[in-house]
Structure 1
C-alpha cells in the first residue's frame, strides 16, 4: 500500500502512542519521515525499526515549544527529503487535572504552550514549506474535550484544544488558495499512557468511567486514530479542509 508514496512528512510526539503508530503507518504507506519527540532513545529506536522495514525516517528529538526546533524539523524535511508535503502535529499534554480555581498559572501556561502555542510555531514554519511544494496537508491533534464536551478538572486542556480548532480554521482560510489543507483530528479516549485511565494509581473504576463516555463503550487503539490521520494526510481527503474531524467513538453524542 502506497497512499503516501513519494511524500515527505513531519510527525511530532512520535515516540509513543498515536504518534508512534502514525509513523509506522505513514512509513508503510510510502512516506519519508522526520520524527520528533523529547525522548531520544525511543525516537531513535522507532526510526531504526522503520528503516529495518525498508522505510525512511530521520529522528530529531527536541521540544516542540522551541521555535528553533520547529524550524529545524522543516529544514530537515527539505534537506533530507526534498521538501515537505504533510505535517502531523500530534504532540500534546493533558497537564495537571484540577478545578480551575486550584490551578497555578504555571500549570495553565504549560498546557497552553504545548498544545496551542507549539501548534502556532509549527504552522509558521511548516506552512511556507508546504506552499513551496505547491500544496499539502497540515494536521493537528485536538480533542473532543473543549469542542463537544467539557470535563471537570480539564479547563486548561479544553481551552487549548478549543483554541486549536480556531487556529485550524483560520489557517485553512489563509492557506487554501495555495492548495494547503488544514484540519484538526479530534480523538476520543485513546489507550495510551497519556490517558487519565492509565495514570498511576487509577483504579478500574476510572477506566470504566472513561469507557462509558463513549457510545462504543471502549477506548480507541492508537492505530485507529493513526488511520484517521492517514485519511487526512492522503489524497482521499483532497476536499477536506478547515474541519474538526471527530474520531471519538461517539463520545460527542453519548449521554450514558
Structure 2
C-alpha cells in the first residue's frame, strides 16, 4: 500500500484499530475517523512513533459534514484519497422486533446504512476527480446475508450495506473505482469481550456455526480489508467476501 492514502472509519478500536496498524505496516498514509478524539490518539500514537503517516478526523459518520471533513483531511494532508475502509458500525442486543424501541431502529440504521451512504457520497467524488480510480471496502456481517438471531434492524442494515456496495460497484466501475464488502462473522473485539464478561454463556452461540469453532481476531478481518484495498484484488468488485471461519459454507 506504499504511496496510497486510506481513510478508515470506526478506527478507534476493534477491527478499525487493527486495520490502522496493518495498513500502516504496509506503507499506507492513514486518515483515522471515529467519534472520540482521545481514543483515536491512543491508536495513532504508537503508529506515528514507528514512522507512520497518520492524520486524525474525529467525527460521526452519520453527519455528512464530519465525513466531508475527513475526506478533505486526506486530500489536504496527503494529496489524495486512494482507498477507504468504511468500518464504523453499531448494534444492540437481540430484543424481539415487536418490543424494539424506535430509537434503536433509528440508531442502527443511521450508523450502519446512512454512515456508509455518507462515506460513499463524499469519497467517490474525490476519486472521480483524481482520475486514478480507487478502492472502497464496506463492513457488512453474516447478518447481511441471513437472519442470524441479531436484532432485526441490524440484519436489515447489514443487508443494505451489501446492496449499496453492489450498486456503487456497478455505477463507478468504468471509472476504475472498485467497491467490495466484508461479510464478517463473530470477532473478538473489545466490545465482544465486554459482552462476554457479562454473559460468558453467549460465546458458544457465537462460535457454533463457524467451521473453525472460534471467533476471528480483529487483525484477521483487517487482513481481508487490506487485500481488497490493494492491487492484489484488482479483478474483484461488487463482491461480498466472507470472513467468517466457514460460517457461510454450512
TM-score by length of 2: 0.96
Of 28, 49, 67, the residue aligned with 1:52 is 49
SS of the residue corresponding to residue 64 of structure 1 reads coil
1:153 Cα deviation from its structure 2 partner: 4.4
> What do the CA deviations read for 1:105-133 (whole angstroms, capped 9, x no partner)?
11101000000011111100000111223
Is 1:108 the equivalent of 2:108? no
Contact residue 11 and residue 36 of structure 1 kept, 8 A: yes
Partner of 2:209: 213
Equivalent runs, 1:19-58 vs 2, <5 Å: 19-58=16-55
C-alpha separation in 1, matches of 2:207 and 2:217: 12
C-alpha separation in 2, matches of 1:197 and 1:27: 27
Of 68, 74, 77, the residue aligned with 1:77 is 74
> What do the CA deviations read for 1:3-24 (whole angstroms, capped 9, x no partner)?
x000001000111000000000
Equivalent runs, 1:131-150 vs 2, <5 Å: 131-133=128-130, 134-147=132-145, 149-150=146-147
Equivalent runs, 1:1-256 vs 2, <5 Å: 4-133=1-130, 134-147=132-145, 149-195=146-192, 198-199=195-196, 201-203=198-200, 205-254=201-250
C-alpha separation in 2, matches of 1:173 and 1:194: 34
1:245 Cα deviation from its structure 2 partner: 0.6
1:199 Cα deviation from its structure 2 partner: 4.6
Q: What is the number of residues matched between the two proteins?
A: 249
Structure 1 or 2: more helix by fraction:
2
Contact residue 43 and residue 61 of structure 1 kept, 8 A: yes
1:200 Cα deviation from its structure 2 partner: 5.0
TM-score by length of 1: 0.94
1:193 Cα deviation from its structure 2 partner: 2.8
SS of the residue corresponding to residue 38 of structure 1 reads coil
Contact residue 10 and residue 88 of structure 2 kept, 8 A: yes
Contact residue 196 and residue 202 of structure 1 kept, 8 A: no
- Structure 2 residue runs of 5 or longer lacking an equivalent are none
C-alpha separation in 1, matches of 2:235 and 2:154: 29
> Which range moved further: 56-65 or 39-48?
39-48
1:196 Cα deviation from its structure 2 partner: 8.2
